[in-house]
Amino acid sequence: MGPDLQGITERRDEAWIIKFVQNSQALIEAGDAVAIQVFEENSKIPMPPNNLTDDQVRDILLYIENGGKVAASEVVEVETEETVASQETVQAETPAEAVSGRKDMRNMQITFVVLLILMLISLFDLFVTKILKEKWIHYIIILTALYIGGEVLFVEATSLGRQQYYQPDQPVWFSHKVHAGQNQIDCMYCHFTADKSMHAGIPPVAVCMNCHNQVKSGKITGESEIAKVTEAYANKKPIEWIKVHNVPDHVYFNHAQHVEVGKVDCEECHGAVEEMDEIVQVEDLSMGWCIDCHRTKEVQFANNKFYEQYTRMHEKLISGEKVKVTVADMGGEDCQRCHY
């Protein structure tokens, strides 16, 4: 992905490094020979531009020169009880448990078991022991149990094949909360095919090494988890991450169509990833969930080259015949769009 940065300030001029870090593609488009060479030597995978100031880039270079350590003169550490407590409990936090839907489903299942037991007791007393003389109490218990039991069975039946709240253990303890939240790494930096491919893609180990050839220890996991990454890179073996978000085989879903054309934010489908240590599937990814989005999601026609060919729809918007265009208006409810 990128050259080893150790000794980079000795091989490249600081002014050039700052420009390359801030916007490498601008240098490439301007015809800078070194930038083009670096780009071509690393599979032509672009480094996204950023808003880093010159001083911030210099701080990064200083960090590299110090062997991946902040210079003692630059350390400013303010430790409060709140930060200490958050660090101590960060591993205990389970994002999935914060999702109310999972708790609601668990409560519903407990209620179902309790009512089932009460119904069996009522039936036994109604036909065998006959201790309770007020039969209407038995009828209420039985009818209530049947109603709630039917509701639970319906929900469970419609959930077959879905894996809402799925949260598998990964081979490496990787925290999106640290990377996407605290460090504010853009989703597209790691999942760099999301805007141009059907799949968002699992980042190769080389992407991890862009940072972890310098960062060897984490505040939460220490050196053990990062060591797994560097070992995989040294042995030229991929990390066998477990895919969390899955749709049935008969469903066609294209990330590029949603990210690049539809301008859908990652959070709309994947939830607040920047708050999760371990990724959990928040939505059920059901057909109804997709269709509801297609019916309400407004298509961004303005400055979107993909929709320039839809002249008739543009005319309707100009004439006022339509105020907005939804995905459903563009065929988002057609069966063959997802099942062909």
DSSP letter for each residue of 72-138: GGG------HHHHHHHHHTTT--GGGG-HHHHHHHHHHHHHHHHHHHHHHHHHIIIII-----HHHH
Apex 245 CA angle, 240 and 247, nearest 5: 115
Q: What's the chain's Rg over C-alpha atoms?
A: 27
Average pLDDT, the chain: 84
Residues 227-241: pLDDT tens digits? 999 999 999 999 999
Q: Point out the least confidently predicted range of 3-12, 97-106, 123-132, 251-260.
A: 97-106
Quote the CA–CA distance of 43 and 211 in Å, as a whole number: 18
Secondary-structure class of domain 1-77 per CATH: mainly alpha
Quote the CA–CA distance of 91 and 219 in Å, as a whole number: 11
* pTM higher than 0.75: no
CB 241 within 8 A of CB 202: yes
Residues 2-32: pLDDT tens digits? 446 778 888 888 999 999 999 999 999 999 9
Give CA 27 to chain center in angstroms.
31
pLDDT band at 306 (very low <50, low <70, confident <90, very high): confident
